[in-house]
Structure 1
């Protein structure tokens, strides 16, 4: 059974919805091959179509050749900046945490000791990475 919902959105909510749809699409398809569509593609197309039909074309455009809808170049650039900021923060947080987990896993510690040591070591790595970036990160050559 297909449920149809209708909601009224303010201009600000429309902006946030379209940004959310872009980011959900990016997150669910970034790892796929170029010709694969993600699990949210149908939803994305439905929302982009509605935005375009309602004249909200600042962020959406109809591709006449394919009949599909996409984000304007301006919208893509705007939303990509948000994703780049997220990626940058996530990279550094993940790096310090994963380095700490790697090092702590070499120690013989109990579960609670392990979790506490990971947090302490991750904080230490955070400080080092904030100060020096990747300058002091090396990969040992075992050859």
Structure 2
């Protein structure tokens, strides 16, 4: 099977692979066998950069025998805005949900929360999280303080 793509579509694929690479590997050290098939496909796609007139965006390191995005590609940053927005959204959502679960457990007790049916627990947690999300929307972390455990 052959798939025909334009230069613009190829350029978009480079962005998509950069986003995927960030999600899969940004916090890992070394190679990961679980992401190997994805990395292999990314390498294959990147190998066609010259053919699509994007040689300035991908370079080959003969010592590592791998293709890498160039500094020019990274400085263009067309994909990074999606990563930044995703990370920002995840941060606020997770912070609110984790604080809400903590508060629910502190209020109801761990065993009571564990014995709740999942729908009731999520509803109760979401009610608390909504208050945190509104606070974060209004004030960011301005009113967020940590107190040392005594």
**Shared fold, TM over 0.5:** yes
**Which residue of 94, 112, 117 maps to 2:124?**
117
Q: How does 1:1-143 map to 2 (within 5 A)?
A: 5-33=1-29, 35-36=30-31, 38-39=35-36, 40-77=38-75, 78=77, 79-106=79-106, 107=108, 108=112, 110-111=116-117, 112-143=119-150
CA contact (8 A) 1:92 1:129 kept: yes
The number of residues matched between the two structures is: 138
Q: Where does structure 2 lack aligned partners over 5 or more consecutive residues?
A: none
Name the TM-score, length of structure 2 as normaliser. 0.77
RCO higher in 1 or 2 (8 Å CA, sep ≥ 6)? Answer: 2
Q: Displaced runs of 4+ in structure 1, greater than 6 A?
A: none
Tell me: CA distance 1:6–1:58, structure 2 relative to 1, closer, same or farther (3 Å). Answer: farther
Alpha-carbon distance in 2 for matches of 1:115, 1:19: 35
CA contact (8 A) 1:52 1:62 kept: no
Q: Where does structure 1 lack aligned partners over 5 or more consecutive residues?
A: none
Name the TM-score, length of structure 1 as normaliser. 0.80
Range with bigger deviation, 16-25 or 53-62: 53-62
CA contact (8 A) 2:11 2:54 kept: no
